[in-house]
Amino acid sequence: MREALADVMRLLYQRGLIQIKGGNASVLSGGLVLITPSQLPKHSLKAEDIAVLDLSGRILEGRPSSEYKLHLEIYKRVPRAKAVVHAHPPHLLALVERGMRGEVDMLMEAKLKVKCVNLVPPYPPGSLELAVAAAEGLSSGCNAVVLARHGAVTIGEDPYDALDAMEALEDAAKIALLAGPPGFEPGTFGSAGRRSDPG
């Protein structure tokens, strides 16, 4: 599982879903939380870099991600979560900033990988408020939440399952942005542009 976490972080980075020191992932294994470390570059993590916590937050090994509370709250409140991935998917965040959340939900129904998505208001990264709000957003049956102006969290049976949901979300958002808002007709931008031309 340590190798899987390191691999998932490398894939997230290669996919442009996190910055070199951003994002984090964890698995629940034997009642303990294996979690990616703080600060280290995420494209070159090794199994021995993975930190270990118990569910009360006691550090047993390594230096856990600064978002460890997010992972702990999810495991405590969402029993079906066996792995958690947190990333910063740019198209998904752009879509939500544009107020196109309904579009995400609609696309999600076509994606069996993401059952539903809840939106979490902005809270400081690493805070308990963020952790609790994200866990509550996942406790209703959704396997994904968008953290407004920050990123997204997905859960799954294992780290690849959670990564799969994260990739599906970002792809759906990218398609929605490229396709334009519902009712958009090709040429609208061009004719509006011509009308606004001076003279």
- Please state the closest distance from residue 75 (CB atom) to Zn ion, in A: 18
**CB nearer to Zn ion: pick between 31 and 124:** 124
Residue closer to Zn ion (CB basis): 64 or 151: 151
Given the rule CB under 5 A, which of 11-19, 75-83, 96-104, 149-157 is the region that contacts Zn ion? Answer: 149-157
The residue (of 6 and 18) whose beta carbon lies closer to Zn ion is 18
Taking the CB of residue 57, how many other CB atoms lie within 10 A of it?
11
From the list 37, 64, 137, 151, which residue makes contact with Zn ion (rule: CB under 5 A)?
151
Is 72:33 a contact under the CB 8 Å cutoff?
Answer: yes
Near Zn ion by CB under 5 A, which window of 8-16, 51-59, 150-158, 178-186? 150-158
Ramachandran sector of residue 105 (left: φ over 0; alpha: ψ -120 to 50; beta: rest):
alpha
**Residues contacting Zn ion: total by CB under 5 A:** 1
Instruction: Find out whether 131 and 66 touch, Cβ atoms under 8 Å.
Output: no
Residues in 76-115 at the binding interface with Zn ion, rule: CB under 5 A:
none
Mention every residue, 6+ apart, whose C-beta is less than 8 A from residue 53. Answer: 32, 33, 35, 59, 60, 64, 68, 72
Active-site annotation holds for 67: yes
120 residue type, one letter? V
Q: Which is nearer to Zn ion, 137 or 151 (CB)?
A: 151
Do the bridges between strand 144-147 and strand 117-120 make them parallel or antiparallel, or are there none, so unpaired?
A: parallel
64 binds Zn ion (CB under 5 A): no
Nearer of residues 66 and 191 to Zn ion, judged by Cβ: 66
Q: Of 139, 145, 132, nearest to 92 (Cα)?
A: 145
CA-closest candidate to residue 57, choices 22, 32, 28, 30: 32
Of the candidates 3, 48, 61, 67, the residue annotated as catalytic is: 67
Question: Among the candidate windows 36-44, 58-66, 89-97, 151-159, which touches Zn ion by CB under 5 A?
Answer: 151-159
Least separation, in Å, of the C-beta of 125 and Zn ion?
A: 5
Residues 6+ away with beta carbon under 8 Å from 196: none
Closest residue to bound Zn ion by CB: 151
Which residue ranges make up the site for Zn ion (CB under 5 A)?
Answer: 151
Report the catalytic residues.
Answer: 67
